[in-house]
Amino acid sequence: MPDTKKFIENLSGAGKCIGVLTSGGDAQGMNAAVRAVVRMGIYVGAKVYFIHEGYQGMVDGGDNIKEASWESVSSMLQVGGTVIGSARCKDFRTHEGRLRAALNLVQRGITNLCVIGGDGSLTGANLFREEWSGLLDELVQSGEISEEASQIYSALHIVGMVGSIDNDFCGTDMTIGTDSALHRIIEVVDAIMTTAQSHQRTFVLEVMGRHCGYLALVSALACGADWVLIPEMPPKDGWEEQMCYKLSENRADKKRLNIIIVAEGAIDQSNKPITTELIKDLVVRCLGFDTRVTVLGHVQRGGTPSAFDRILASRMGVEAVLALLEASPGTPACVVSLCGNQAVRVPLMECVQMTQEVQKAMDEKRFEEAVRLRGRSFENNLNTYKLLSHRKIDSELPHSSFNVAVLNVGAPAAGMNAAVRSAVRVGITEGHTMFAVSDGFEGFYKGQIKEIKWGDVGGWTGQGGSLLGTKRTLPAKHIDKIAEQMRIHNINALLVIGGFEAFESLLQLVDARSRYEEFCVPMCMLPATISNNVSGTDLSIGADTSLNAIVETCDRIKQSASGTKRRVFIIETMGGYCGYLATVGGLAAGADAAYIYEEPFDIRELQSNVEHLTEKMKTSIQRGLVLRNENCSENYTTDFIYQLYNEEGKGVFDCRKNVLGHMQQGGAPSPFDRNFGTKIAAKAMQWISKKLKEFYREDEGRVFANTEDSACLLGMRRRALVFQPVVQLKDETDFVHRIPKEQWWLRLRPLMKILAKYKTSYDVSDSGQLEHIVRLRAKDVSAI
């Protein structure tokens, strides 16, 4: 079989000109996308042009279209909004405007456009592409361009990236800016919760999103709101009484505050708007609660982009350039999008049509259809919210007589509490009795096990660390005592939330099944570790929060060098032997190098990095950032690297070092971690319920599970959430260094190097297949 691997070295952009523009509403992360397009374009030998002020700049031409240089996109990564400007443009909607735009592009030889914007901007780009040859003919006839020029520039290639905080575009799980907008919303909600708690108030919050309820829905999930109103799912008639009943029930349950989140486009069953004021009046009239309204407005668009948005935009920008290089005259305009954890290309017009169908379905009151069309990610969020928000009265609950224990194992990770809350509430809804184990397996063998009820986990989503308490103790040492506690409390299933220790613990329990029947029960593990070093999953609960802490600190450290010229920072990150935080943090913070255990390095590489930084200091960029994973090398310590850089850089730059330490483990969980923890815990509890029924022995009146598939890890693999038997993951694991043998994020390393101006080999075999949106959705069966 021929080798089908495709490398960046074989793709050349020589002689090509790429124009990059941002259009429509701004979104955090747009600058990261612009930076990636410019640097990747220059890297492959193409010329890249900024088109300032969106389509308006393209129509007006002149200084609005300027060639970009490598240095011109420096320091853009951490800036919100769009540095090259965006404008809504009436002129481009006219044929005359598009004709002027075509002339401006041809004069500069630009036939490749990278458009970062919403569905309107991308639809406009596609129309422009369809009209292109006709526009050139007109320009030839009017004598503004030569026949020869129209031949050379006969095809216009377009690649889109969706930059919109609303996440209202079909065909991608996340649009650039959505995660940052969620960060802003959650920051505000967390702040409001403290004041609401003090005064026993009800807060009604309006969030943006136009006709899409994604921001409202996910922020409601992430903060455990009492009620959410979104346009895709108008509340059923009589919702007013239902809502007021729920608010008063929560107050009776000793909850001192209520949060109601309203999407700005929220409507009722007859398509009438539901406003924040209407809800406030309703609560005051029916319940007499002290109620306040907060409209978040443009705060959601502002601020610095989150780590997720920077990485997403950087990956998309590089992918967009690859798509332009590979485009032929017949290639349809495509959008670079995210499916699960993978960058894919989808035909632009299929996405636009699907997006328009959602609106049509809503206008025609086909609301269930609208939710389905929004995609799996939206649908799963909605189903999880419904599962968790409506507490059923005991008579409505199925009664299972099963006992399920939940525990945290290993180091704390932000988002653990959100997972525990979700597991407890879904378990209760499924009819089980839920037990909480304090302090991991140490608490387990000591008998620190007690029933945990619905109200006990209220307000847990936003709390960092582990409220149950967590220890690194493995069960093997106390296996007989743990078996005894399983018997005493009649535990029929286990949910273990934690990192590498949790994985080892589950393997030990499975191993002990032959000696202790008590462990012949369904067991599920959820990966929760900032190091992201567990086999069987691309992402772990807590890693996103940690990345944001690293990126935020790196931004501040870089800023501290703006007054003092020529400074290089050596920053040490956590992660054990796993280089995930150093690599992905490096990509998000714009690092020049990241040293990790998985990619061995020697003194020659250190030397070439120093020389590279020396060259960089001769340009207008006069600062450097180097990340080092704590265990990347026994001998090349942080001190050694710091001293080497200091010595070799004498007279050119000076050095500072910083060990980030435990601040990477703390803090309130990011929206992504709250959401990820909530969703995978809900899915795990449903799996446990299924397995309990499957392994229940009617004749013996007990649960007996002894198969490999009754002890699983639930992880995210590329596009889907999958349950994998822990025994099968053994072969994929390096137990000495506590890391998986293969790690997907190593493919992002060349990306970081390219964006830092290093010549490197980059395998782009994964790229290039245009996927159709319907097929994409069918495959994406259980994406988050």
pLDDT in tens, 464-488: 999 999 999 999 999 999 999 999 9
173 noted as active-site residue: no
Beta bridge mates, 714: 723
The amino acid present at 656, given as its one-letter code, is R
What SS3 class is residue 330? coil
Q: How high is the pLDDT of residue 280?
A: 95
Token duo for residue 444: 């387990």
Q: Which residues on neighbouring strands pair with residue 238, listed in sequence order?
A: none
Q: What is the pLDDT of residue 398?
A: 66
The pairing of strands 65-67 and 47-51 is antiparallel
The DSSP result for 637-662, as a single string, is -HHHHHHHHHHHTTTT-EEEEEE-GG
- The three-class DSSP label of residue 700 is coil
Question: What kind and span of H or E run contains 524?
Answer: strand 523-527
pLDDT value, residue 779? 35
Instruction: List the chain residues with pLDDT less than 70.
Output: 1-10, 390-398, 563-564, 763-769, 773-784
Q: What is the pLDDT of residue 195?
A: 83
- Please report the pLDDT score of residue 783 as a whole number: 39
Using CA atoms in the order 675, 676, 682, 687, what is the torsion angle rounded to 10 degrees? Answer: 170
Are residues 39 and 69 in contact, defined by beta-carbon separation less than 8 angstroms? no
Residue 140 corresponds to which tokens in the numbers above?
């030839």
Q: Annotated catalytic residue: which of 26, 60, 119, 166?
A: 166
E-strand ranges in 614-736 read: 623-629, 654-659, 696-697, 702-703, 711-717, 720-725, 733-734
User: What burial letters (b/e) apply to 512-524, b meaning 16+ CB within 10 Å?
Assistant: bbeebebbbbbbb
